[in-house]
Structure 1
Amino acid sequence: MPDLNIPVKILGIGRYLPERRVSNEELARLCGRSAHWIEERNGVRERRYKSFETNAFMGARAAENALADADVGLNDIDLILNASGTAQQSIPDNAVFIQRELGERAAGTAAMTLHATCLSFLAGFDLAASLLLARRYRTILLISSDIASVALNPEEAESFSLFGDGAAAVVLSLAEGESSGLHRAAFKTFSEGAELTTVRGGGTQFHPNAKMTRAEDNLFHMDGLAVLRLVRRHAQDFLEGLEPGLSAGLGAINLVIPHQASKVGLRSLERYNWPREKIVETLSFLGNCISASLPLTLYEAIKSGRLERGDRFLMVGTGAGLSMGGLILTY
């Protein structure tokens, strides 16, 4: 794959985490497993659950924090791009609700959604970079806001205890005359995995009013072992397509920002000779936050000082489908 070298810059980043902290002990009482089992199985000690929040509320608060971090006004934004795996309702598009939460100053700003489950942020970043390069927009607000907690099934203890809620946002623009940029991007989908990670309800096939729709159709289901096997079958070729040699080492990449899929998923990255100290982890204290996991982990890397201007970094992950995605950037 040739270098893209799109001069795009992250001007600012923000996040929103619900105040409600949920311990393994609390979930253990609901799913019939011990707190120790949950941590050993998933690597999660704590996660956040929404109380009063909606997707739009969390996304707007993360966006406001990103704007403040970038020292950019809302009136400078000409596209609000919602890149999330969940929405608070089917119609209208959730980007509309985020715009409304941002207030009157956002009125009239183009607002739309890109949905690629856990890879929504990566796909959104790739799209935003292309739109900026084409001069369609000058400054883009990219937001991922996900609420998993309402659709988890206590009968499936592993996934029930894996997920959390949260939101993160970035402000993007062209980086004229600077080193920041998007160098490589790759996405692949293997639809043989379409039934491995699902919420079957909520669409036209299992409509809420349809007699055939069962309560469990509206809950999350994942065959984690089958997903892991499918990922391992395709990961090496995918990584080599993203950048030759990436499946055998990081080369000039300073840091890895992975999707926080699971404990096993994060550990499996080391099989490609990626040093553990170069892999950023938020799973233990945030859980898997669907599409928000990647930008929340990026936020952690930036605010902790692990990722500095001029550093080359990799964002990579998987999503339901099965889909794989990766970006190589300079911060």
Structure 2
Amino acid sequence: MKQIPIKLISTGRYAPTKVMTNEDFSKILDTNDEWITTRTGIKRRHIAETETAIDMAYEAALKAIEKVNFNKEDIELIIVASITSPVKTPSIANLVQAKLGLNHKNIVAFDLNAACSGFVYALEVASSMLSSGIYKSALVIGSEHMSSILDWTDRSTAILFGDGAGAAIIEPSTDVNDSIFFFNGSRGDDTGILWINPKVQMEGREVYKFAVDIMPKAIDSVLKRAKLSLDDIDVIIPHQANLRIIQSVAKDMGLPLDRFLINLDEYGNTSSASIPILLDEYKDKNKEKKKALLIGFGGGFTWGASILNI
């Protein structure tokens, strides 16, 4: 496995101002705060009223740029992970390029669909392209307008999801300690357990069984590739799907729950945006370099794990 030294330059996030609480759902569905909280750990989620996945991707990118006064002219690669673009083409990445005023530059820009694993997939693609020596800087974004694809009469899915975006700027590093490792994959599921056609359709129990099985396996596999142990990891940043899933994985791996970052009580499941949103929140509070393990899973069934310095 080739080591790819990559440094994280900056991160950013965006969440719509409108918030939908569990009490709000009790007014339109046969549910209540206790039922939702005990089964998911979710209390609130942000819902886009006027923003699209394009707008949210741009806002998250802009925050990452402004946070470190980054020269956007250095960006030569934009990859957006999303399953909720409002248009078939151009890609969200193309439109973020335009919104950033980079139309004049020869930028490679495209979208990637790997559901909730999308950000980790996009991070690997961007890292590999940067390692070629052709590209200077990459902007990697996860952006989802999940509320646009929900069946609001389906209690089993409508309560789970929220809208938002997270972004990261990465560049090649000359420090071998910045090597980044991945373990990404897909099961090639064609049974309809977790599909969007055109609304979210999900068999929750089957998704749960898949998640609690693949997450420990993916974590172990990426650790082996990096020749590290869990003791070498400062923080685990998991996809925010369901608190019970994270609790089960922590128990299975013999880890205290506080080793895993959690913010789904505020955002719910934002699909490909969940990991970069959580990453940015962590970076806002922790300025020292840490070794992080990102772990996601999603429709496909896909999974993505990465170890990097943040």
- 1:240 is aligned to 2:220: yes
Distance 1:83 1:198 in 2: 17
2:30 corresponds to which residue?
32
1:208 corresponds to which residue?
none
2:288 corresponds to which residue?
308
- One-letter amino acid of the counterpart of residue 299, structure 1: D
- Consecutive unaligned residues in structure 1, runs of 5 or more: 201-217
Distance 1:326 1:274 in 2: 17
- One-letter amino acid of the counterpart of residue 52, structure 1: T
2:262 corresponds to which residue?
281
Over 3 Å counting, the alpha-carbon distance change for 1:317 and 1:22 in structure 2 is same
SS of structure 2 residue aligned to 1:154? coil
- 1:190 is aligned to 2:187: yes
* Contact persistence 2:115–2:302 (CA under 8 A): no
How far the C-alpha of 1:92 sits from its partner, in A, is 2.3
SS of structure 2 residue aligned to 1:191? coil
- One-letter amino acid of the counterpart of residue 285, structure 1: E
Distance 2:3 2:93 in 1: 29
The correspondence for 2:244, drawn from 264, 268, 279, is: 264
The correspondence for 1:143, drawn from 141, 150, 163, is: 141
Distance 2:93 2:225 in 1: 38
Alignment of 1:195-206 (within 5 A): 195-200=192-197
Distance 1:194 1:255 in 2: 34
- 1:317 is aligned to 2:296: yes
How far the C-alpha of 1:76 sits from its partner, in A, is 1.2
* Contact persistence 1:194–1:320 (CA under 8 A): no
* Contact persistence 1:193–1:227 (CA under 8 A): no
The Cα RMSD (Å) is 2.1
* TM-score normalised to structure 1 length: 0.87
How far the C-alpha of 1:221 sits from its partner, in A, is 1.1
Deviations 1:153-206 (A, max 9, x none): 233213211111001111110122373331x21112122465111112xxxxxx
1:253 corresponds to which residue?
233
The correspondence for 1:171, drawn from 169, 180, 190, is: 169
Over 3 Å counting, the alpha-carbon distance change for 1:327 and 1:97 in structure 2 is same
How far the C-alpha of 1:70 sits from its partner, in A, is 3.2
- 1:290 is aligned to 2:271: yes
The correspondence for 1:56, drawn from 50, 54, 57, is: 54
Moved more, 43-52 or 170-179: 170-179
- One-letter amino acid of the counterpart of residue 286, structure 1: Y
The correspondence for 2:7, drawn from 6, 9, 19, is: 9
* Contact persistence 1:75–1:106 (CA under 8 A): no
* Contact persistence 1:100–1:107 (CA under 8 A): no
Distance 2:36 2:83 in 1: 24
How far the C-alpha of 1:282 sits from its partner, in A, is 1.0
- One-letter amino acid of the counterpart of residue 303, structure 2: M
* Contact persistence 1:24–1:35 (CA under 8 A): yes
1:20 corresponds to which residue?
18
* Contact persistence 2:84–2:149 (CA under 8 A): no
1:96 corresponds to which residue?
94
1:204 corresponds to which residue?
none
The correspondence for 1:222, drawn from 202, 215, 229, is: 202
SS of structure 1 residue aligned to 2:281? helix
How far the C-alpha of 1:244 sits from its partner, in A, is 3.9
- Consecutive unaligned residues in structure 2, runs of 5 or more: none
Distance 1:226 1:269 in 2: 16
* Contact persistence 1:75–1:105 (CA under 8 A): no
* Contact persistence 2:10–2:64 (CA under 8 A): yes
